[in-house]
Structure 1
Amino acid sequence: MERLIFHVDVNSAFLSWEAASRVKAGEPDLREIPSAVGGDPRTRTGIIVAKSIPAKKYGVQTGEPVAMALRKCPNLVVVPSDFRLYTKNSQAFKAICKSYAPAMESFSIDEVFLDMTGTSLIYPDPVATACEIKDKIYQELGFTVNVGISTNKLLAKMASDFEKPNKVHTLFPEEIPAKMWPLPIRDLLFLGKASEKKLVDFGIRTIGELARESESTIQALLGEKTGHQLFQYARGIDNSPVLEVPEESKGFSVEKTFNDDIISMEQIQPILLEQCDVVATRMRRKGKKCTCISVTFRTLDFKNRSHQMKLGSATDVTDEVYANARKLFAEFWKGQPLRLIGVALTGLTEDGFEQMSLFEDCTKKEQRQKLDAVMDAIRMKFGNDKITRASIMNSNAGIGRKARRRWKTKKMKKNSKRNRKENIVISFAGKCNVLFLHRKHCFVPYVKKCKKPLDENTIPVYYTAMTVIQKER
């Protein structure tokens, strides 16, 4: 039986969701005026994450700074992002799509694949069914979508990217020569800029020219694996299934975009430490260790650069992950201003037997593991934001206004008991790490009554990994 796949994609999702919400409140429709979502319109900081069609006519582009967009279009209406609203609309949109299909794969927050194979008795006309889905989403939720129809995920997604908005397109195998092959090579899905440049330099400028070239030539240009995959895609071949349940993660990653430029290693280090702490915590919860660490950063030209290193042995220790990430950054960063920083842990292994180095200080590693265990336990019981590292809190690294407000205690009102936070020093073998814990949780009220450092016998059994806890005065 030939497969039938739909790709449903929200048109300019963030802006559409903002517009639909504002229209319900009686405000002007952002989709009909030059408008964009992203950044802070008052300070002219941040980047554009979505734009309206009228704004596009002024040359406003996704990913460019708000200040640049306002220079192109002085009357541009810029609204800040509201991810609670986006999550709510995403869930509602996906619920409607799911009601039509036996299997649905969430490809991103604003797009899904529907496997409609075997539904011909219920939905005999695929185009009519796609139009019904499209119209129902607009009538119930107030925003438009495009629907692409084909026999595989690749062609369905290519079809949905044809003319927008509020359209249904087909791209069946017999339509490939007329509809897909004349497109510029950059429109081929999953083709990166580096590969595009190599193909264009070789004289391949359309998808059809790539499809008609020999596979061996493409592999010689792009590498065996990449060349084979892109050659198959250019010919419309894709056998990937619609996955209702995501595949098990092959790694753990986190990245953050900043409103202000990151320009010094003093800013970068606490950001890296925070990100390494986040991904290492996630990894430990899954009972995994990593053998490869990579860092990513984005410069002002909006180009991402990634570098990775293989580890001598698997690790799940935050301090070890951070030390290697910092080393990578120091080696490859040349001092250019940054707008994005990220860390990824891959090459996962089970948290079991570990081969130790003859030159490694096992005692120190055990102490770091105990520290991670304590922090993980506190976060599991009381929440991720209840404990952090002092070097993150005390830095002015620009790691985000919310994070700074969360951990910066000096500006808190001294008389406000609800907002007050206590400083706790956790010491292992004479090496102190200052941590911060919300006052109303755990043993902080008990510690507050003590006028001298506590020993391990005074601490609840739940925190036996700690050797000394004392209040910092």
Structure 2
Amino acid sequence: MSARPGTAPTVLHIRFHPPGGEPEPADYEVLLDLLEAITPVVQALPPDAALLDISGALPYFHTDPAGLAAMIRARALATHSTDTTTAVAPNPLLAHLAAHTQPAGALRVLTEQQVAAFLAPLPPTALPGIGPAAARTLAQLGLTTLGRIAATPLPTLQRALGAGPGTRLHQHARGIDPTSVVPARPEPALTAEHHFPADELDPDRQRAALLHLAHQLGTALRARGQVAGTLTLTVRYADRTCSTRTRRPAQPTDHTPDLTDTAYRLHHSLGLQRARVRTLLLRAGELAPAGTAHRQLTLDPAPDLARLHEAAADRARHRFGHRAVTPASLLPPPPHGRWENSPARERAAPSSWEPDHQLQ
């Protein structure tokens, strides 16, 4: 662990809870300014969280970790009407886990002496990089909690998951995290989010939501004259844990089919079989001017024709609204309750699709 025995934990993880849900990008920047008035070592974790190294702030403000966290919460509420969930721990991993197991407004100070008991009952999916597929592999070995994993020999984990992932899991299950807080502001990005009205287990409905989010991002990128170099998918589950994967398209793009294909690949890589999904968040990162992007030359006219169709659809949406042109698989079924000659569409489309998303 990063802290010496007997020392106070000095890594603070904070999540913001503004009245309207997740903070808008401009509001998030202002909240980061508030944190940097406490300590200059602030690492942004968009869209709604941050890490702080408070080792220098504790003696400066003549307080302990709980007192400093309470002060930050009071300032956020007083100046921005934004509540917080805060955890202080010996390293970033433990601070993240402690913050995500607390309700809004809560504070948890996790000392080294409490780490083993805190980690023991948590499921493997609470750790970053452990999705449902890896959890199923571990469950076949009876490793359903971090306590059991911590007691498992390293070679067993390496055989099950591979040398690198097995080693990381072995360390994380014991609360070992060699990383530190790195000061960083959020990179320019566009984020589209879909909240399911109830826990969603159907992969077809999840893919339908991803299709809509990819269309939203593609339309926004083209309107801004930008391309995305990365696409990140964050899946939040019913138990408030989440999984995140990032992938680069073949080349920086604003083309909706490329974004959709990348989103589907990210979704498939998580192996979400019967996972209870609450929220899907798709983030386009490493934004750059579209004029700087290089396109692979090809003799196939289909990509250029598809872009012409896409530009026409964008003009229609700009003139008549975002529903003017919609993928057929997202249309609600006709009154008779079925798509004629296309049963696949009926399965893919929600019965009354109403996009519940935020685009930032």
The interval holding the TM-score normalised by the smaller chain is: 0.5 to 0.7
Secondary structure of the structure 1 residue equivalent to 2:296: coil
Task: State the alpha-carbon separation in 1 of the partners of residues 243 and 52 from structure 2.
Answer: 34
The aligned counterpart of 1:400 is 354
The aligned counterpart of 2:134 is 195
Would you say the 8 A contact 1:295–1:344 is kept in 2? yes
Distance verdict in 2 for CA 1:244–1:277, change over 3 Å: same
The aligned counterpart of 2:56 is 118
AA partner of residue 8 (structure 1): I
Q: Does 1:218 align with 2:148?
A: no
- C-alpha RMSD of the superposition: 5.8
From the CA coordinates, give the structure whose radius of gyration is larger.
1
- Listed one character per residue, the Cα deviations across residues 273-310 of structure 1 (whole Å, up to 9, x for unaligned) are 754433334555334578xx99999999x9x999x999
- Listed one character per residue, the Cα deviations across residues 424-460 of structure 1 (whole Å, up to 9, x for unaligned) are xxxxxxxxxxxxxxxxxxxxxxxxxxxxxxxxxxxxx
Task: State the alpha-carbon separation in 1 of the partners of residues 280 and 85 from structure 2.
Answer: 32
Distance verdict in 2 for CA 1:352–1:322, change over 3 Å: closer
Greater Cα shift, 119-128 or 138-147: 138-147
Task: State the alpha-carbon separation in 2 of the partners of residues 174 and 294 from structure 1.
Answer: 35
Would you say the 8 A contact 1:173–1:236 is kept in 2? no
- Listed one character per residue, the Cα deviations across residues 138-157 of structure 1 (whole Å, up to 9, x for unaligned) are 56667754432223211222
Task: State the alpha-carbon separation in 2 of the partners of residues 294 and 148 from structure 1.
Answer: 25
Q: Does 1:369 align with 2:311?
A: no
AA partner of residue 400 (structure 1): E
1:96 Cα deviation from its structure 2 partner: 4.1
1:6 Cα deviation from its structure 2 partner: 0.9
5+ long unaligned stretches in structure 2 = 4-8, 272-276, 333-351
Would you say the 8 A contact 2:94–2:175 is kept in 1? yes
- Listed one character per residue, the Cα deviations across residues 117-154 of structure 1 (whole Å, up to 9, x for unaligned) are 43354134332322333444456667754432223211
Would you say the 8 A contact 1:276–1:318 is kept in 2? no
Residue of 262, 280, 300 corresponding to 2:218 = 280
Task: State the alpha-carbon separation in 2 of the partners of residues 245 and 184 from structure 1.
Answer: 30
The aligned counterpart of 2:123 is 185
Aligned length, in residue pairs: 313
1:106 Cα deviation from its structure 2 partner: 3.8
Task: State the alpha-carbon separation in 2 of the partners of residues 139 and 320 from structure 1.
Answer: 45
Secondary structure of the structure 2 residue equivalent to 1:113: strand
Task: State the alpha-carbon separation in 2 of the partners of residues 224 and 5 from structure 1.
Answer: 29
AA partner of residue 307 (structure 2): Q
- Listed one character per residue, the Cα deviations across residues 364-404 of structure 1 (whole Å, up to 9, x for unaligned) are 5334434545777x69xxx967665854299843442799x
The aligned counterpart of 1:158 is 97
Would you say the 8 A contact 1:255–1:343 is kept in 2? yes
Distance verdict in 2 for CA 1:194–1:243, change over 3 Å: farther
Q: Does 1:246 align with 2:186?
A: yes
Distance verdict in 2 for CA 1:247–1:211, change over 3 Å: farther
Greater Cα shift, 391-400 or 213-222: 391-400
Distance verdict in 2 for CA 1:299–1:4, change over 3 Å: closer
Task: State the alpha-carbon separation in 2 of the partners of residues 148 and 269 from structure 1.
Answer: 34
Distance verdict in 2 for CA 1:117–1:227, change over 3 Å: same
Q: Does 1:352 align with 2:294?
A: yes
Task: State the alpha-carbon separation in 2 of the partners of residues 222 and 149 from structure 1.
Answer: 30
Distance verdict in 2 for CA 1:246–1:220, change over 3 Å: farther
Task: State the alpha-carbon separation in 2 of the partners of residues 166 and 270 from structure 1.
Answer: 34
Residue of 6, 10, 14 corresponding to 1:4 = 10
Distance verdict in 2 for CA 1:202–1:354, change over 3 Å: same
- Listed one character per residue, the Cα deviations across residues 325-357 of structure 1 (whole Å, up to 9, x for unaligned) are 89999xx9xxxxx9988878899997215142x
Task: State the alpha-carbon separation in 2 of the partners of residues 136 and 347 from structure 1.
Answer: 32
Would you say the 8 A contact 2:313–2:325 is kept in 1? no
The aligned counterpart of 1:147 is 86
TM-score (norm 1): 0.47
Distance verdict in 2 for CA 1:162–1:226, change over 3 Å: same
5+ long unaligned stretches in structure 1 = 18-81, 333-337, 404-473
Distance verdict in 2 for CA 1:237–1:92, change over 3 Å: same
- Listed one character per residue, the Cα deviations across residues 180-207 of structure 1 (whole Å, up to 9, x for unaligned) are 3433335843343443343344233442
AA partner of residue 112 (structure 1): A
Residue of 130, 140, 145 corresponding to 2:69 = 130
